[in-house]
Amino acid sequence: MNWPAVLLLLCTALTLLLAWLTARLKKFPAKYHYVCMLLASAWWSAMAGMENMVVAPADKLLFAKLAWLGIVAVPSYWTMFVWSYVKGAYQSPTRLGKAALLLMPLLTVGIALSNDYHHWLYTQTDPIGPHLGAAIVYQHGPWFYICALFMYGYMALSMLVIINALARASQLHRRHYLGLAIAMSIPWLANVAYVTGLFTVFNFDPTPFSFLIMGTVFYWLIAHRRLFDLLPIAHDVLIDAIPDAVLVINEAKQIAQLNQAAQALPDMPPDALGLPLAQLPYLYSILPSLWAQHLPVEVELNLGDAYYDLRSVTLYYQQHPIGLLLVLRNITHHKHVHIELQQALISFEDQLESNAVLHQQLHEAAIRDPLTGLHNRRFLDEITPNLLASLTRKQQTLALVMIDLDHFKLVNDQYGHATGDLVLRHMAQLLQQLIRESDFLFRLGGEEFLILMPETSAELAWQQSNLWRTQLSLSPAAISSTHDLAVTFSAGISELAGENMQLDPALLRADQALYQAKALGRNRSERL
């Protein structure tokens, strides 16, 4: 049995199976390049298997030439995969990018197939022995060394990328990249062993087998270490320099990345990469309100004595949410200042309200007579301008009724000032009950009262004063439980009308009318 051919074709089948399984995996960085690398490796091992299976030297040479498509393509796709995977690039390459990667492999196959005309790839090809199906010994031309430089350059570049990522990675990332570096070294060692003659598989290049082994290792790392699908690069220096806590959450609701500030969050274990978010209840409880939101979400968290402003952004790929970016800013100092400011504002508002009440109380005390509770002359001065302006606009009149209790001095002299005060309060209460809601009642001093009656003529005010007099005679002041004291009053009435209303002249006329009522015998009303 031709074991080299069987093993190589088996390697082809296994590599194609691995490519199919990889294609079924969920999207990960550089998936396109990785699958193409496996297909190119399968093509290489398939052509190598056919070269071992056929017996005619010309047929062996044909399959050897066709194998160059995979030989040159494998390092190209491999390097692009490593570069994109380490950088976390999910985007598929453009058509121009895909064509550029095939340029060197196709050119090399063309040179190989036309080798008989220029001998750039092979200067001489001879079987190693006279027996049927003997392997071919190849003497290489200049294009072979150009291809070798091209392929080893790509492989060296991919190894440098991994080494750079390895140097910058955290401990958990470092194990991942170390696995990649070890897997990558297998094709290098196999190819170097073949070129130097140290190791072959049935007198054949073991490199195709090594790419199957490397591809299998990578498939396991990608398929079983989903932690790195969302963000395969190590801790970035820029993220660690951010003073706010930064976390990346993957689809499995695990911490895929965090910076040094996030490591200081409450209940965060020392090695938090891969930690299920369920172990951090203060984040896990709000996760449903953050996931798959098209706009950034802001939430305030109170964690013991600390306050955080959390800002969440959903990470999408092809309209599918693949993770969360969480930024937590410690606002404890700001919050405490805000709380203190609020408390100070509340205290200030309370003080303002207290001052306003006190001011109102002082104002009321200033505009009211303490004995009767009626408004005084100060309040009269306050309301007069607006009252007169309103009546002028409406072209209405204002009646003034000046009232003075008759013989009030005799009441004080005979019954005492306490009884006099009682009579004044009785008069004030009676007038308050009898005047209209639109009227204004004042105590001007002593036993003198003033009533302003808007939209009222002097004649109507005179009639009203006579009604008040009648009510007063029917309601004498009760100065004790057994004795009532009947009192009377005199009234002077004046009227304001027209466009030039002035209160003082009207008060003077009302006062003159009052004196006239006194002179005519008291207990009567007169008008001027």
- Condensed to tens digits (0 to 9), the pLDDT of residues 179-200 reads 777 776 777 676 666 666 665 5
Nearest-5° angle of CA 44, CA 47, CA 51? 135
**349 carries an active-site annotation:** no
Q: Is the pLDDT of residue 230 over 60?
A: no
| Nearest alpha-carbon partner for 245 in 150, 367, 332 | 332
DSSP labels for 10-63? HHHHHHHHHHHHHHHSPP-TTHHHHHHHHHHHHHHHHHHHHHHH--SHHHHHHH
pLDDT at 89: 62
CATH (residue range 377-527):
3.30.70.270
- 5 pLDDT above the threshold of 60: yes
Write down the pLDDT at residue 231: 44
CATH code of the domain made up of 233-334: 3.30.450.20
Residue type for 409, please?
A: K
Tens digit of each residue's pLDDT (9 = 90 or more) over 35-85: 888 898 889 888 888 888 888 888 888 998 998 898 889 888 888 888 777
| In the block, residue with structure tokens 């009308």 | 497
pLDDT at 125: 84
- Give the containing element (helix H, strand E) for 139: strand 136-140
pLDDT at residue 227 in the model: 39
Residue 25: pLDDT over 90: no
Adjacent-strand bridge partners of 258: 247
Are domains 3-228 and 377-527 of this chain identical in fold?
A: no
- C-alpha 163/C-alpha 174 separation (Å) is 10
- Among candidates 198, 205, 162, 216, which has minimal Cα distance to 71? 205
- What single DSSP character describes residue 457? -
* Catalytic site residue from 447, 448, 495, 499: 447
- What counts of helices (H) and strands (E) characterise the chain? 19, 14
Domain ranges in the chain? 3-228, 233-334, 377-527
Q: Please check the confidence at residue 228 and state whether its pLDDT lies above 80.
A: no
Q: What pLDDT sits at residue 234?
A: 43
| pLDDT score of 336 more than 90 | no
Report, as an integer, the average pLDDT of 362-379: 85
Instruction: Give me the pLDDT at residue 229, please.
Output: 45
Instruction: Say if residues 212 and 230 touch (Cβ distance below 8 Å).
Output: no
For position 168, what pLDDT does the model report? 67
pLDDT mean across residues, the chain: 83
Superfamily of domain 3-228: Rhodopsin 7-helix transmembrane proteins (1.20.1070.10)
Provide the whole-model pTM.
0.46
Q: In this structure, what DSSP letter does residue 437 have?
A: T
